[in-house]
Amino acid sequence: MEYKGPTYIRLRRDYTPTVTKDIDYKYEVGKAYILRDGHDITIIGAGVVLREVLVVAKELEKTWAVLVFVFICCVYLL
């Protein structure tokens, strides 16, 4: 690649359910939100893998208190 400046490539994603639609939050750049509160295990997720993170957290909660953070990501276009 010969271009020497900032580059942004956006790829489309397959359909995934929105898992954050029921969260009461005010969007702030760079802020994480807690989806599940616990103290034994911490899982941090964002984007399309968040659904899988919540599935795993539900399974782990049978034994452990699981804390799940989610990052609502954004990209600033120049």
> pLDDT 10s per residue in the chain (78 long)?
577 777 666 667 777 777 777 777 777 777 778 888 899 988 888 777 888 888 898 899 999 998 887 766 666 555
Residue 59 CA to residue 63 CA, distance in Å, equals 8
CB 17 within 8 A of CB 51: yes
CB 10 within 8 A of CB 33: no
For the chain, the structural domain boundaries read 32-71
pLDDT of residue 6: 72
pLDDT of residue 62: 92
Cα-only R_g, the chain: 16
CB 71 within 8 A of CB 40: no
pLDDT of residue 59: 92
Q: What SS3 state is found at 47?
A: helix
